[in-house]
Amino acid sequence: MGSNRDLARAQWRRASYSGSNGGECVEVADLNPRTAVRDSKNPHGPALLFPAEAWEGFLESVKG
């Protein structure tokens, strides 16, 4: 399980399609072997942690 320390040092990124208006976006961070996902409008709020394999599977399914 990840920790708050992992999230504090995370390098968050947002999709290039999100634009700069701060709309409804999510941010992701690679916390190998997990991926963290959070709401960009609430960066100090909770984050979801997914095993790397689950996140990769999700990405493949939305690409297809």
Residue-wise pLDDT for 1-52, tens only, equals 455 667 888 999 987 776 666 567 889 999 989 999 999 888 888 999 999 8
In the block, tokens 């493949």 appear at: 60
- Domain-located, residue 36: yes
40 belongs to a structural domain: yes
| Cβ contact 34:49 at 8 Å | yes
- Structural domains of the chain, count: 1
If pLDDT is split at 50, 70 and 90, which confidence band does 61 have? very high
Stronger pLDDT, 50 or 64, i.e. the higher one: 50
**Which structural domain range is residue 51 located in?**
4-13+25-63
Residue 49 is predicted with a pLDDT of 94
Q: What is the pLDDT of residue 7?
A: 85
CB contact at 8 A, 28 and 36: yes
Residue 39 lies in a domain: yes
**Cβ proximity of 32 and 13 under 8 Å:** no
